[in-house]
Structure 1
């Protein structure tokens, strides 16, 4: 059956002239519906604007279907939808209608969905149904998708997918997917090489070459070197060389060199908090913008660490081998030397060792030890409260003392039983209960050890001897008196 809308002519065995008049009065949709009905009944082909249809329905012209615009955060699709355009302000979820088994089955129904936003559309089928075997489908920003009903129900794949979505495009190994664009930028997932042979790889910040990065080979052959070069707008360059085994300059064979052609070379960390600068004046170390260390062109070293309450000052250490500091004292024509090494600490003057602190912490001094005790430096002078009674309360002990005095977490850093020395003395914690002035008690004894100042016990011992001597003198008087009384008694008894 063929119907031509242009001249309202009908070719077939069913319709007559009255039908033609009727079709002229019907709307296009009504006519199309009627034609579908006749084609279903008589299994004929229908043509619109053509008298020779090549398909069951052949439309020689445009076809309009329903166009819907959605902005809601959720949308339930119905049989009245065909093309849905999303223009919302956030992510949204579309829900497909449930498939129908038997009468009312809409196998072949099509929906077209266009995402015009920077957000994501999630499409969910009804209940346990699936889309291409998936529980849901996503339409990425600026992508479109067409869904076609398979006519199946239940857990079967009830919808086929045709068209574009983010699922059809992937990006990996240093690339990222933005909408339908694959862009440079992302995480490398495998070892990746760019072979530039004898050419250069340039990464330019602009077309004039400022900030130019060039990776290339220079001086091919025996003088070859690989160079990474950064160039600024004045033409100065930062070059990083890796030399071949026979290259004779830029550090020599197999050398790696970093060179700034137009100014000092600075190595910085923590957002420029700490810096090393190499320039025409030598090597300089800065911390928090302050000059802390300099080595000038003559090799002279200058250290500039300010004194701090409770400590500070410059420190020099040698992690392996001994540290030997020696020089000539121009003030009195004498040479001095400080040795720090396996034997401990040694101070020598004019070739003679004057002070030794060995590895066990034992101190030896050729001239002995003195404590400052000038009366002019003392105030609030009064008698001490400790004496014989305090001394009698002390409990001298013998023990094995660990060679490592460190305390960590309130416990010895090293098991005392591993290495120790046999000693006699007092326990600091016990002594503190009797004479706290003779004990060093750390502010945090979970990190530091207690200590005893044995020289502080000397005044207490002196006071104890004095008190004891008073008692002795008193006892002498008593003894003399008792002896006189005994002699008197003997005399009376005639003994």
Structure 2
């Protein structure tokens, strides 16, 4: 009886404390130190400024032994992390509260089994401002990195029919839908591509407007920028083939190479500003500023080039097995004697204007070194013929001379193949040789006839001598 009062007092204070610290309002319960009512939206409202809630702690084995209802939360002292159950099948399914191993924004301690990614066949996505900024797709083998890169071909829009694409850069391959095996690197590269496939673009705005073209390769800022349906083109160099739209099978290597080509095909340009002057095909320009203004033509060097050198001469196929309709109708002296050999100087700058090299504004401003080259090339005193005069001589002699390259358009120019003059020169020599042989034969016959006369006269003299001797 002596000890009952303190125990009774303790129980009384406990009951009072519960009523003070756990006010009830309907089915809401509050646990606090200030006696405030629970939030009406919370079934349990806990408030404290110096204490926390201690979740049940147990080992992994203990946790796995619980047939837990969905939502049960425990702290696993083995993994040192919180786990919650999401339901039961044959046993409780547990999930780590931090989704396996969480990555800290301040860095992480690496382990051999750590990785950043997915554990199922779902794309790995990265977003900025809730817009796609990176995605790796396993099912379609697409890889995109950069703000809105490949956005139309990503799981963000749900259109993933294109496959095997790789994009790195702002809005590259932005509109791609069904195109496949494309590689884009650089802002806006292959931006408008939709169904084109097997294209490679490296450099800001390279192949930006391509949507249908296939198997193109562009390396350099703005390379193949306007191409939309051209195929099998290769452009390497800043602004190379920038204006090509439908031309195919072209190769351009160098700054602004094939800059003016729009729809021409099978052209090759090697060298900075090597170009074609109009819509031509199967043309080749080699060297800085070399410009071809006609189809099926090769140009080496710009107009300031003064020497083209090689250890061996150029050759032309001349196998009789491939020649047909062979005729001996070459004109010799009739053609050669009408030619006017002259010396002259050549206005290389005016020539460049004529062939249209200056499509690109940047190459109009030549440096002092090139100005000196222009001056030197213009100052050379050259020997040769004037093509228009050769053309008249050939027409007057009835000779279809292959050494004259006649212009087909106002922008093209006359050219002469000086090696072609060898053939009529040989013919002229042959004609001279025949004439000489005829003259020699005639002279020989005349001499022989004179010899016969001399012999006859000698015989007559001998007869006269004999008669004189007899008369004595």
- Name the TM-score, length of structure 2 as normaliser: 0.35
- Name the TM-score, length of structure 1 as normaliser: 0.33
More strand by share: 1
More helix by share: 2
